[in-house]
Structure 1
Amino acid sequence: MKEMFIRFNKNDSVYELSTYEGFLKITRDDEIIHIQFANVNSQRLKDLGLKSMNDIAGNISEYIDLCEKMQMYKGISFESDEWERQTKIHVKIKYSSQDGELGYYKCQIDSIQGNMRGFHGDRLIEEKYSPFVEEPSDNEPETTSGKPKFTMQQLVDHLNAENKIPVYDL
């Protein structure tokens, strides 16, 4: 499920930098500390401090230190937008800026042509992207969606909090 990966030891931890389908992921001891696009072309993302894979390759250790210090990455989600003749897959990555302001950065990452009647884009997301960007969960409770259950108030609070974060199209 990885196109490329580098694994090394640093400060008594095992770090791994891996890429897949245009994403770059950094883990420490099998826990995700950062996810971004492998090629950073947007000035908004560069302003946050993100670098492209070619820039990172020169000094991976320094970039990992930056990601751990700034803790920019806050989460990732995928959406499918089904039309009559195609399904578009979008990704939203949540980052915090140096001043602590949260923002979603959204762009289209995939498109499937053809008559999609009965096709569910969520299935493509689950099969193609989710295994790379999600941490293996051994201790989480089992639900039909694979995600922990919310109480009604937790769900309302979560949805209201997410609606206040700006979304930037890339």
Structure 2
Amino acid sequence: MAGTRDAARHMAAHGGGSIVNMTSIGGIQAGGGVMTYRASKAAVIQFTKSAAIELAHYEIRVNAIAPGNIPTPLLATSAAGMDRERIEQYEAAIRQTMRDDRPLKREGTPEDIAEAALYFASERSRYVTGTVLPVDGGTVAGKAIRSQRRT
């Protein structure tokens, strides 16, 4: 919040700009086990929307990116204390689950998130504010349910 405040002061004095906040799909979808994390990410979403309304007068756009699970070195930190073989098995299982749990059956990359940030920071998004963009391979959209044809 302090970063948004400080950036907004500078941008207001210079004719506007774009603020890009980072949240998570955890702030959009309910789930068990990490309630406080999800609540904090939902708060970022509401902060983004409120800031977009308050700062629009200054030609400042405020949007947020909600990444899904992206395999990064941070993933390995949850495997602390495991031997190397077990870590590799753990990471492979998580990656397979990531692929299986989304409509686009591939892993996202940090570059996918960077492209979304570049879009929001650019003039191509000049008429976009208060938006949260899930970059998650369709996870938020949900799994497809195949209907059974009746004959």
**Which TM-score band (shorter chain)?**
under 0.3
Bigger proportion of residues as helix: 2
Tell me the TM-score normalized by structure 1. 0.26
What TM-score, normalized to structure 2?
0.28
Larger strand proportion of the pair? 1
Q: Please say which structure displays the higher CA radius of gyration.
A: 2
| Structure with larger RCO (C-alpha < 8 A, sep 6+) | 2
